């Protein structure tokens, strides 16, 4: 099987680091570029984190481009040290990267890669959608050049995580998310409904720490802080699997068991609904009949072995 080209856009925090590692461990895809955006940390720090992680895996051949520093409306709200540490990667120290970010905006890297692989390139995003929206503005033909887009973001039936209704990646740039979800491309949305439904536990973290391999060991170390944060969600030290699950679905390592194709719009008003992904799930008792024009597959369930599939692949690095 020929590996499929994939571009990854992220705000390199702890779970983005797991997603990056998962991609590097995936023979199904060829990671042809990474772009960064402000979210868990600012876009420049996210690029430094990405370069350091790639170097740890011996993959500093992969281009990394810094993207948007601020969302479309307003300015970046700042990092979330209680979740991802002051540096985005749980305050662990990695060797300084030898490579630098490439001298182009992440939006231009997306466009360049899409033109280089017409109809083949897959996009995976695990941060705010600012870079993708910018790429759409710079190249309106982008949807016809791209094979598929997988987005970690949103909440369908589930409540949000930065407001009662908004998930962080959508809520931190709702205008960009609205543009990306409205564009005519094949979208798979991986919302909180499914990423919160599976957890990594202390035993999994220990497997990473005991791996004897640099990148899985670093992941095990940075998960220490992340597990502490999730005490407030689950009442025990563990973590949700937001970004690595989106990576696994993008490459086919995890296959959704329930994922209807439905209309999704983003609330961009300034009221309490700002950042909500409004998914039309009214067909749930009729096995989700087709909705003409809908182009967003919303992942609502994956199998019970989801978390162990993720860990097993990370341990192959
Ligand atoms: C998403 O927000 C970020 O904090 C995580 O990295 C993940 O992409 C979860 O809502
Ligand atoms: Ca993220």
pLDDT per position as a tens digit, 273-302: 999 999 999 999 999 999 999 999 999 999
| Cα 1 to averaged position of ligand 1 atoms, centre (Å) | 31
pTM of whole model > 0.85? Answer: yes
pLDDT at 10: 99
**CB of 240 closer than 8 Å to CB of 16:** no
Domain that holds residue 280: 4-314
For residue 276, the domain's CATH number is: 3.90.245.10
Atom of ligand 1 at shortest distance to CA of 14?
Answer: 6
Give the residue-averaged pLDDT of 125-153.
Answer: 98
Place of tokens 């670093």: 218
pLDDT at 234: 98
1: confidence class by pLDDT, cuts 50, 70, 90: confident
Residues in contact with ligand 1 by the CB-under-6-Å rule are 13, 15-16, 39-40, 126, 152, 161, 167-169, 242-243
| Cα 292 to averaged position of ligand 2 atoms, centre (Å) | 31
Cβ partners under 8 Å of residue 199, min gap 6: 230, 234, 238, 239, 240, 241, 307
Q: What is the mean pLDDT of the chain?
A: 98
- pLDDT of 161 > 90? The answer is yes
Give the residue-averaged pLDDT of 18-38.
Answer: 98
Contacts 24+ apart (CB under 8 A), 136-143: 136/179, 136/180, 136/183, 137/107, 137/179, 138/107, 138/108, 138/111, 139/111, 139/114, 142/110, 142/111, 142/114, 142/183, 142/185, 143/183, 143/184, 143/185
Q: Give the length of the chain.
A: 317
- pLDDT of 182 > 90? The answer is yes
The mean-pLDDT minimum among 1-5, 36-40, 100-104, 198-202 falls in 1-5
Radius of gyration in angstroms for the set of CA atoms belonging to the chain, rounded to a whole number: 18
Per the structure, the count of domains in the chain is 1
| Cα 316 to averaged position of ligand 2 atoms, centre (Å) | 22
**What are 152's strand-pairing partners?**
190
pLDDT at 289: 98
**CB of 98 closer than 8 Å to CB of 60:** yes
Number of alpha helices (DSSP H) and beta strands (DSSP E) in the chain: 14, 12
């Amino acid at each position: 099987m020929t590996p499929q080209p994939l571009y990854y856009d992220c705000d390199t925090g702890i779970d983005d680091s797991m997603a990056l590692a998962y991609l590097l461990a995936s023979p199904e895809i060829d990671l042809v570029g990474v772009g960064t955006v402000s979210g868990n940390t600012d876009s420049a720090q996210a690029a430094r984190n990405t370069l350091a992680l790639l170097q740890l895996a011996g993959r500093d051949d992969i281009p990394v481009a810094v993207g948007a520093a601020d969302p479309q409306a307003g300015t970046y709200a700042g990092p979330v040290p209680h979740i991802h540490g002051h540096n985005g990667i749980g305050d662990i120290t990695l060797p300084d990267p030898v490579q630098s970010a490439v001298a182009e905006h992440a939006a231009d890297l997306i466009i360049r890669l899409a033109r280089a692989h017409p109809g083949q390139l897959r996009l995976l995003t695990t941060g705010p959608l600012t870079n993708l929206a910018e790429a759409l503005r710079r190249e309106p033909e982008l949807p016809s050049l791209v094979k598929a887009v997988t987005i970690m973001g949103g909440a369908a039936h589930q409540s949000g995580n930065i407001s009662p209704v908004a998930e962080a990646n959508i809520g931190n740039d709702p205008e960009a998310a609205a543009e990306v979800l409205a564009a005519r491309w094949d979208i798979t949305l991986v919302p909180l409904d499914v990423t919160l439904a599976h957890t990594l536990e202390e035993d999994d973290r220990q497997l990473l720490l005991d791996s004897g391999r640099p990148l899985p060991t670093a992941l095990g170390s940075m998960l220490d802080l992340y597990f502490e944060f999730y005490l407030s969600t689950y009442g025990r030290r563990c973590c949700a699997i937001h970004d690595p699950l989106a990576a696994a679905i993008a490459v086919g390592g995890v296959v959704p068991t329930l994922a209807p194709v439905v209309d999704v719009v983003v609330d961009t008003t300034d009221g309490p609904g700002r950042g909500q992904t409004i998914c039309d799930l009214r067909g749930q008792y009729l096995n989700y009949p087709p909705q003409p024009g809908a182009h967003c597959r919303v992942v609502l369930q994956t199998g019970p072995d989801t978390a162990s599939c993720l860990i097993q692949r990370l341990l192959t690095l």
